[in-house]
Amino acid sequence: MNSPGASEYSDGCFTRFKRREPRYARLVTPAETDSGSSLVVWSRPAPGVSHLALNQPEHRNALTEELAQALRSAVGQVADDKTTRALILTGAGSAFCAGADLGALGANASDPAAKRRVLRDYYRAFLDLRDLAIPTIAAIAGPAIGAGLNLALCCDLRIVADDARLAAPFLKLGIHPGGGATWMLTQVVGPGAAREILLLGQPMDAQRAWQLGLASRVVPADRLQGAALEWAVSLAALPAPVLGNLKRSLALAEGGAGLAQVLDFETEAQADSLASEDAREGWSALREHREPHFHDR
C-alpha cells in the first residue's frame, strides 16, 4: 500500500481525511485475507486471545470519528465475548495510530455544548478499552501520536517495536490534550515525565519510552506480534476472576483510594481466591513442578 503524503502525516502532526460511512468490526479467522471492508479487524490468534487491528493503513490508522465508533463497537463485542480472556490491540500496516482527525471532529456541532458532547462520545473509544475486565496489550509499531498514544495508555501493557515513535503534540497544534491524556500520563510515567511529554510534545523513540516507563517492553519490529501474543497467551491461562479483581484493585489505587480502602478490597478478593479450586490447583502445580490448569472456579 502507498504511504500517505506529507500533507497527511508527519511526526508530531494529526491528520485530516475524508469522512465515510462507518464499517464495524467483524471476526475473521487467520485464513481470511479480505479484511479491507472493516475499519477494525477482530481475530483470534490463540485460544482465549482476541486481536483487534485498526484497519486504515493507508491513513496510518488515524482515529476518525468513524474509526473511533468502530473501535468502540469492537471493544463492546470483545467485552461480551466470554471466551476472550486477553486482548491485543494493534494497527494494520506501518502505524499503530497516527492521531485524531481533529479538523473534522465535531465539525457539524452547532455550539460549544454540542462540541463537548461529540468529544465525550469520541473519548469512549479509549475509555471503554480501559474499562475492560480482561488484561489488554497494546502492540505498537510506527507512530502512536496524540489519540494513538491515548489508546496505548488505555491498555494495561505496552509492547513497543524498536521503530516506534510516540508523542503528544497537542500544544504544538494550539489545543489542549483530551481523552484523559493528562491523567493517564501522570499515572503511568509520573508528573515530571508527563510534563516533559505534554509540554515539549517531542516524538520519543522506543528506548526513551522505555526509560520513562511508557513502554513495558521494547522488541525488534519483526518480533512485535509474537511478543504480544506470548504475553496474551500467558495471561489468558490465568484465572479470570482473579485477573478481574486485580484490575479493580489497581483502578481503586489509581483513582486515589486510600490504603485502608484498597486493603479492604484486597482482603475480600484474596479471601475469595484462597477458597477457590484454582488456588488449590495452583498450589498443587507448584508442588508437582508443572504448569497449572485453571478453570475459573
List phi, psi (to 5°) of 197. Answer: -65, -45
Q: Are residues 125 and 146 in the same domain?
A: yes
pLDDT, residue 37, reads 64
Q: Are residues 244 and 173 in the same domain?
A: no
Q: Which residues contact 173 (CB under 8 A, 6 or more apart)?
A: 13, 14, 102
pLDDT, residue 206, reads 96
Judge whether 16 lies within some domain: no
Judge whether 40 lies within some domain: yes
Judge whether 6 lies within some domain: no
Q: Are residues 129 and 245 in the same domain?
A: no
Between β-strands 26-28 and 157-161, what pairing exists: parallel, antiparallel or unpaired? unpaired
State how far the Cα of 96 lies from the Cα of 62, in Å rounded to an integer.
9
Q: Are residues 140 and 280 in the same domain?
A: no
State how far the Cα of 288 lies from the Cα of 93, in Å rounded to an integer.
45
- Biggest alpha carbon–alpha carbon distance for the chain: 66
Judge whether 13 lies within some domain: no
Q: Are residues 172 and 110 in the same domain?
A: yes
Q: Which residues contact 258 (CB under 8 A, 6 or more apart)?
A: none
State how far the Cα of 134 lies from the Cα of 79, in Å rounded to an integer.
8
C-alpha cell at position 21: 460511512
Domain span holding position 283? 240-288
Judge whether 12 lies within some domain: no
Counted domains in the chain: 2
CATH number of the domain to which 124 belongs: 3.90.226.10
Judge whether 99 lies within some domain: yes
Q: Which residues contact 240 (CB under 8 A, 6 or more apart)?
A: 85, 133, 134, 296
Q: Are residues 136 and 228 in the same domain?
A: yes
Q: Are residues 161 and 245 in the same domain?
A: no
Q: Are residues 56 and 201 in the same domain?
A: yes
Judge whether 3 lies within some domain: no
pLDDT, residue 103, reads 67
Q: Residue 241 corresponds to which amino acid?
A: P
pLDDT, residue 5, reads 32
Is residue 144 within 8 Å of residue 151, measured between CB atoms?
A: yes
Q: Are residues 209 and 268 in the same domain?
A: no
pLDDT, residue 126, reads 84
pLDDT, residue 14, reads 35
Give first-to-last CA distance, the chain, whole Å. 48
Is residue 149 within 8 Å of residue 167, measured between CB atoms?
A: yes
pLDDT, residue 107, reads 63
Mean pLDDT, 10 residues at a time, the chain of 297 residues: 31 34 38 59 96 94 91 95 96 93 68 83 89 96 95 96 95 91 94 96 95 96 96 95 94 91 94 92 91 89
Q: Are residues 87 and 122 in the same domain?
A: yes
Is residue 82 within 8 Å of residue 50, measured between CB atoms?
A: no
DSSP H helices in the chain: 65-80, 112-130, 147-153, 181-189, 191-200, 206-212, 224-236, 240-254, 259-274, 277-288
